[in-house]
């Protein structure tokens, strides 16, 4: 079981790190160039498609993180497991409290302030996911 959880933890973290960098560098800044007319429709299309891509990996990452916190695995001790889970809680909190409300604003109309806030606020998730993935890789390499 440790091997399955380890694979789930590493692969989901790396996958989400890759996705968040694509979103941060390419997708969110590109929202500035969408025309005002039809913006909400295009934005909702993006939201639906990105949700289809990230929902399962995010829940796999959460489940694996909870698992290793409750039943530590050889590569990751209990202290690291708790800390990694707390980083993931911070990522999810940022998503729910910052990103989702901004996306809600953009679902009705183009709002440059909301787009700028989306880009700026997403750096927290980008940095946290990146550091979390590096941390996990280091723990498995040791």
Q: What tokens appear for 81 in the block? A: 């497991």
pLDDT confidence of 2, banded at 50, 70, 90? confident
Q: Which pLDDT score is estimated for 74?
A: 87
What is the per-residue pLDDT across 35-91, written as a single tens digit (0 to 9) for each?
999 999 999 999 999 999 999 999 999 999 999 999 988 889 999 999 999 999 999
Burial of 23 from C-beta contacts in 10 A (0-12 / 13-18 / 19+): buried
Mean pLDDT of the region 6-35 = 97
* Single pTM value for the model: 0.93
pLDDT confidence of 1, banded at 50, 70, 90? confident
The counts of H helices and E strands in the chain are 6, 0
Angle at the Cα of 101 from the Cα atoms of 63 and 46, rounded to 5 degrees: 75
Block residue for tokens 């969408």: 34
């Amino acid at each position: 079981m440790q091997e399955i959880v380890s694979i789930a933890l590493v692969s989901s973290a790396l996958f989400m790190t890759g996705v968040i960098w694509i979103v941060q560098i390419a997708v969110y800044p590109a929202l500035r160039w969408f025309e005002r007319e039809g913006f909400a429709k295009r934005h909702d299309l993006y939201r639906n498609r990105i949700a289809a891509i990230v929902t399962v990996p995010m829940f796999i990452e959460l489940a694996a993180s909870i698992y290793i916190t409750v039943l530590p695995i050889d590569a990751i001790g209990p202290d690291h497991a708790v800390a990694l889970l707390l980083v993931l809680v911070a990522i999810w909190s940022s998503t729910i409290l910052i990103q989702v409300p901004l996306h809600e604003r953009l679902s009705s109309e183009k709002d440059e302030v909301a787009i700028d806030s989306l880009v700026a606020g997403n750096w927290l998730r980008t940095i946290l996911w990146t550091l979390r993935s590096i941390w996990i890789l280091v723990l498995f390499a040791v």
